[in-house]
Chains A and B, each alone.
Chain A
Amino acid sequence: MTTRSFRLVLLSCLVAVPVCFQGQTQPKKAPKAASRESQNPLISEYKYFSAKVSGGIANDHNRKIYRSGNLMRLDFDNSYRITDLDTLKMWGVTGDSCIEFAGPDAGAYPFAAYHDFKVERIPAKEKEEETVDGHVCKIENMTFNPPDERPLVVKMKLWKAEDLDAFPIKIEVDVNRGDANNEKIISTYTDVSLTAPDPKLFQHPAKCSADDTQLPSQKSKETGGHAAPKKDSTPPKNP
C-alpha cells in the first residue's frame, strides 16, 4: 500500500466512524412513569390514617399508629416514635428529649419494608371476599422480588376493607427463602380512621441527636429535619 492510498484509507475511516456512531445513537426515551401494578401500595396509597396495630415483627398489641404522608407515628406509654418512610430514619421523642436512629421503628413494618423490591400486584378477583373483624374485604395478592441477588421472594396479602376505602385491615407477609421454612408475619389494624391526623403529631424537638459529640457536619444535616411535615405531605381533604 502506498503512502497516498494509506492516507486515503485513514481519512475514510475518520469520516466513517462518527457516521457509524451517529446511526447507533438512540433518541432518549422519556422516563417511564411507574404503573399502578408495579407500585407498592403500602407506600403510594393509605397516606393518611390512624388506627391501632397488632402483630407485625414488633408483636405490638393495639398500639396507636398514625400516618401522614411519608411520616408514620407510633405511640408508647410516655413517648412516641416517628419513622420517615422515605429515608427510613426514626425519631424517638420522650418529653423534651429526642433521639434519632438511622433505621425505622419495628412497628412501621411492613410499610417501612421492601422499598427497593420489585412489586407485582395481582388484581383482586371479583368474588374473592372475606370478612375480617366485621369488615367485608377484597383480597389483593402481591409478590415482592429483591433488586439484587438475595434469594428471597416475599408474598404479601392485603385484606382491603370495602367500607374503609380499601384500607388493608389485615396484612400477611409470607417470606420464602427457598427452603421449607417460610415465615408468616401478620399485622392487623383496628379502629381505622381515614381522617388525616393532626400534623402536630409528627413534630419532634428541633434538637434531636444522640448527644453533643457528633461532628458539626452531621448536626447540620441530620437535626430538626421534620419539625413540620414536608410540603408534599399536605393532607388531602377529609373523606
Chain B
Amino acid sequence: MKKLLLVVTVLTLVASFSVPASAKTSVYAFTFRDTSGNPYCEGLTLALYTPGGVEPKALVDGYHFNANCGGTTVNVNGFKAGVSTYYQYSGTGAVLVVSDPFLGTGVTFLVNTAVSRWTGWESGGGAGEFVFNYGTYVNGTMADKRGTKPVTER
C-alpha cells in the first residue's frame, strides 16, 4: 500500500512539473487609449491560450465591449503572430492579431502586449489596408472610467 502511494505521489509530481507554467491562459482586458493615454469609450477582453498545452500559446479569443460606444459586445478572435514593426504602433515582434467585425467592415487590431500598444487596420474592400487609429492601453482597466469617443473617431 505504501509503495502504491509512493508511486502515485511520484507520478502526480511528474505530471504537475511536465505542464509548462506558461500554458496558463493570459488575459488582457483594457479600454483603448489614444497616444496620449486618454481613454476611449470601448475596449477589448482577450484570452491568449493553448488547448492541450501546445506551446507557444497562439490562439486568441474574446470580445470587444461597448463597441462604438453603443453598449453592445462583439465577439473577436485571432492568433498571436509576428508582425513587422512597420505595421504596428511602436512595437516589435509578436502581436495579437485580432479580427473584429464591430464596424461591419474588415477591421483587424494588432495588440502588442509587450509594450501595451494597439494599431487598428481597416479594409479598403480590395483597395488595400488603411490605418484608422492607434494608441496605448493599460491592462486591467476594463472597468475603469471610460471616455466618450469611439475608437473610430480617431
Please tell me the size bucket of the interface on A.
Answer: 35 or more
Interface contact A57-B92, CB-CB below 8 Å? no
How far, in Å, is B91 (CB) from chain A's closest CB? Answer: 7
Interface contact A102-B154, CB-CB below 8 Å? no
B16 within 8 A of A: no
> Given the complex of chains A and B, what is the CA–CA distance between A69 and B87 in angstroms?
25
Known A57-B105, A90-B131, A214-B85; contact A103-B121, beta-carbon cutoff 8 A: yes
Q: How would you classify the secondary structure of chain B's contact residues: helix, strand, loop or mixed?
A: loop
B90 within 8 A of A: yes
Chain B residues within 8 Å of A76, by CB: 154
Tell me which residues from 43 to 59 in chain A have a Cβ below 8 Å from any Cβ of chain B. 57-59
Interface contact A101-B35, CB-CB below 8 Å? no
Interface contact B125-A58, CB-CB below 8 Å? no
B129 within 8 A of A: yes
How far, in Å, is B153 (CB) from chain A's closest CB? Answer: 8
What mask results when residues 34 to 78 of chain A are scored 1 for a CB within 8 Å of chain B, else 0? Answer: 000000000000000000000001111101000000000000111
How far, in Å, is B32 (CB) from chain A's closest CB? Answer: 15
Chain A residues within 8 Å of B125, by CB: 57, 175, 177, 183, 185
* A57 CB contact (under 8 Å) in B84, B90, B119, B130: B130
B118 within 8 A of A: no
* A101 CB contact (under 8 Å) in B105, B122, B131: B131
Interface contact B130-A154, CB-CB below 8 Å? no
B109 within 8 A of A: no
* A110 CB contact (under 8 Å) in B85, B119, B127, B153: B127
> Given the complex of chains A and B, what is the CA–CA distance between A103 and B154 in angstroms?
16
A168 within 8 A of B: no
What mask results when residues 110 to 122 of chain B are scored 1 for a CB within 8 Å of chain A, else 0? Answer: 0000000001011
Chain A residues within 8 Å of B85, by CB: 209-211, 213-214
How far, in Å, is A215 (CB) from chain B's closest CB? Answer: 10
> Given the complex of chains A and B, what is the CA–CA distance between A194 and B68 in angstroms?
35
What mask results when residues 108 to 141 of chain A are scored 1 for a CB within 8 Å of chain B, else 0? Answer: 1110111000000000000000000000000000
How far, in Å, is B7 (CB) from chain A's closest CB? Answer: 50
Having A113-B124, A211-B85, one finds 20 other A-B pairs with CB under 8 Å, namely: A57-B105, A57-B125, A57-B130, A58-B152, A90-B131, A92-B89, A99-B89, A99-B90, A101-B131, A102-B84, A105-B130, A107-B154, A108-B130, A110-B127, A112-B128, A114-B127, A146-B126, A210-B86, A210-B89, A214-B92
Instruction: List the 10 closest pairs (A to B, CB-CB), nearest first.
Output: A113-B127, A102-B86, A106-B130, A106-B132, A210-B85, A152-B126, A175-B125, A213-B92, A210-B90, A94-B35
Residues of A near any B CB (own CB < 8 A): 57-61, 63, 76-79, 88, 90, 92, 94, 99-110, 112-114, 146, 150, 152, 154, 175, 177, 183, 185, 209-211, 213-214, 222
